[in-house]
Structure 1
Amino acid sequence: MSLKPQEAYQHNSVTTASPGELTLMLYNGCLKFVKQGKEAMINKNIQAKNEQLIKAQNIIYELMATLDRSQPISENILPLYEYICHRLIEANITNNPKILDEVEELVTEFRDTWKQVIKLNRKEAYSEGRRA
């Protein structure tokens, strides 16, 4: 089975990514599906809207499943993930794009915070490597 160049790149990106980078990919994917769902909603393409919003939900479910519950911060994150899922379902049922604006804002905050965590970890690892 040969992959097209773009598929091969995506496959390699996922298989060589660190856990932190995979989480960042999940946030970016969720945002992509929310935007596509909103566009389909506005265009009254009910099937595409449903498919895209379910993909976004599934990503949030994956983030919930992989959340490190031993970390105290997870007690704050889990209810927010649950809220995001609830809002995605509500937006899908009511066809309310304003709800998706709220979801997009919340997921963007998670994504941007996660980007900062990755940067700090890299900077810390680089500093420790230089001291060794």
Structure 2
Amino acid sequence: MVNNAAEAYKRQQIMTATPEALTLMLYNGCLKFMNEGKEAIEQKQWEQANNVLQKAQNIISEFRITLNMDYEISKQLLPLYNYTYDRLVEGNIKSDPAMIQEAIDIIKELRDAWAQAMKKARQEKGTKNVQGDSYVG
């Protein structure tokens, strides 16, 4: 019963999330899977490592195919995503936790930058709502 409630809550969060929040959730999920994969490699649990690393690879593939190449930032992100994806595949094949860690570091940096951009956008949106008012806070 508790598990069903937790699943329903998680599903509701996803269904009502903004595209920006969904992107953040995907970054966090990707990091979770990569960390689990690295740990599984270190414990020589090859099948578990392969399963979770493939989930991370799927998220990175989704990031790649949804990039809007009309924007300059997308042209900078694509090679990063490609490199990260390649590190994951190679790290999985070679059972090399250092390669997985390299991918983790890149995605963590991108996730943190995304979170900062979301925070800044929220602040700017809030500022715009009170501009022109005589309110002094």
With normalisation by structure 2, the TM-score equals: 0.91
Question: Could you tell me how far 1:131 is from its partner in structure 2?
Answer: 2.4
Q: Is 2:19 the counterpart of 1:19?
A: yes
Instruction: Tell me, yes or no, if structure 1 residue 55 matches structure 2 residue 92.
Output: no
Q: Which runs of 5+ in 1 are unaligned?
A: none
- Trace 1:69-108 onto structure 2 (pairs within 5 A): 69-108=69-108
Whole-Å separation in 2 of the counterparts to 1:118 and 1:68: 18
Q: Secondary structure at 2:72's aligned position in 1?
A: coil
Matching residue's letter, 1:106: I
Instruction: Provide the rounded CA distance (Å) in 1 between the counterparts of 2:14 and 2:129.
Output: 25
Mapped to 1, the partners of 2:129 and 2:16 lie a distance apart of: 21
Identity value in percent: 43
Distance (whole Å) between structure 2 residues aligned to residue 104 and residue 112 of structure 1: 12
**RMSD between superposed Cα atoms in Å:** 1.1
Aligned twin of 1:9: 9
SS at structure 2 position matched to 1:70: coil
* 1:67 equivalent in structure 2: 67
**Structure 2: segments with no counterpart, 5+ residues:** 133-137
Q: Residues of 2 paired with 1:14 and 1:65: CA distance?
A: 20
**Letter paired with 1:115:** A
Number of residue pairs matched? Answer: 130
Misfit runs of 4+, over 4 Å = none
CA distance in 2 between partners of 1:68 and 1:124 (Å): 23
Distance 1:9 1:68 in 2: 31
2:15 and 2:36 map into 1 onto residues whose CA distance is 25
Are 1:30 and 2:34 an aligned pair? Answer: no
Once residues 114 and 68 of structure 1 are traced to their aligned partners in structure 2, the CA distance between those partners, rounded to angstroms, is 16
Q: For residues 9 and 70 of structure 1, what CA distance do their matches in structure 2 show?
A: 36
Instruction: Tell me the distance in 1 between the aligned counterparts of 2:75 and 2:94.
Output: 29
TM-score by length of 1: 0.95
